[in-house]
Each structure stands twice: as C-alpha cells, then as structure tokens.
Chains A and B, each alone.
Chain A
C-alpha cells in the first residue's frame, strides 16, 4: 500500500502565476487534510476535505486559495496569483476515517 503521494515535490513560480499542488491519498482513504509550514514554523491547518466536499476550511486564506477533492483523482490545492509570502512547504495528509492522519512528503513552493 503506497503512502500518501504529493507532486510535484518542488515547485517554483514567479509572482502572479498559479500554483497547483496535488495529493493522492493512501488507498482506501477518503479524508484529506492540507497543512502549510512556513520556514522555521510548525504546520498550520488549512482545509479538511472528504470526497467532493469541503468539510472545514477555517485555515484557508480568504482569497487566492482553493481546494478540491473530486470523486476521481487527486486532491488539488490551488493558489492563484502567488506572492512571495506563499513560499512554504505544503503537506497533505489522509485518513480512512476522521482520525489518525498519514502525511505525504510535502511540496516545497518557492515564489520568485
């Protein structure tokens, strides 16, 4: 059973571009969580999704950020018009129920 997969592992974008981060949960897991880790900080919760539904997005910035978890395919975290402050590591986690979360290796976004 492969672990949580995230791609790309590293992403470089110029200011104003769009960033799309993908997360494939573990097989059988229908719950996905996104976290952001700014340099030298802990992880901060962004959003919790189940298939086709956003359950809690209380940690998502109000503008430019969106997330989805379609019926088929990976979960996507989309950041429009990126700014330098979006540079961070973005981690996805999945769980079979709303309990223990298994983390992916992260996507490190650098905004130039």
Chain B
C-alpha cells in the first residue's frame, strides 16, 4: 500500500540550512511534492520533482530524490523565521489523475 513517512519536528537557527526528509513506499510514484502549510492556512505547493529526476533546485530550495531507497529530501538554504511552518511531502501515481498521498508533516521551527 501507499505510505509516506516524515520526521515530526525540526528546529534550526536563522541562517542555517534545513533538511527535511521523507520516505515513501510506492515504487510507481510519478511525482513527488513538497507543500508548506502555515498556521490556519491551506497548503502551498513549494516544488515538485518527477520520478525520473534525482535533483531539482529552485532558488533556496533543493530537492533530492533517491529512487532506489525511496527517499526524498528538501533542503532550505539560509532558513528564515518566515520559513517556520509544517512541510508535507506527498507522492502521486498517475491513475488517470494525480491522487496525492501525504506524509504526516514536519514542523519546522526557525529561531532567531
């Protein structure tokens, strides 16, 4: 079955890099996503990676995908206090539509 796991909590200092990790089980995943959720808000798509890629960089964000180990990571460079939020990893399989399976979320706390 589909299962996506993340560590629950990460604390970093402002200016440091943050690395949030995710593991998934579905080897037929097509896309893998990172979403950000701020308190009381909906989900904001940060970035995504196609399953045949191993890295994607977008400004301060770097996504690494190890398909063999089914491991996905999100690195945030120069983390700011505004990056404090819950980060969700999600995977989808193209079953005619992108049915998202989410992890439980990692709460990132950035201290000054």
Contacts and interface: CB of A to CB of B under 8 A. Distances in A.
Interface of A: 4, 31, 33, 35, 40-45, 48, 55-56, 91, 95, 98-106
B29 to A, nearest CB: 14
A105 B100 contact: no
Contact of B41 (A4, A41, A105): A105
Contact of B100 (A4, A43, A102): A43
Nearest to A99: B98
Contacts of B35: 103
Size category of the B interface is: 20 to 34
- Most chain A CB neighbours (cut-off 10 Å) among B4, B90, B102: B102
Nearest to B48: A100
Q: Does more than half of chain A's interface fall in helix, strand or loop, or is it mixed?
A: strand
Contacts of B105: 41-42
Interface of B: 4, 35, 40-45, 48, 88, 90, 95-105
Contacts of B45: 100-103
26 contacts: A33-B100, A35-B100, A40-B104, A42-B102, A42-B103, A43-B102, A45-B99, A45-B100, A48-B97, A48-B99, A55-B97, A56-B95, A56-B97, A91-B43, A95-B98, A98-B96, A98-B97, A99-B98, A100-B45, A100-B98, A101-B98, A103-B35, A103-B42, A105-B41, A105-B42, A106-B41
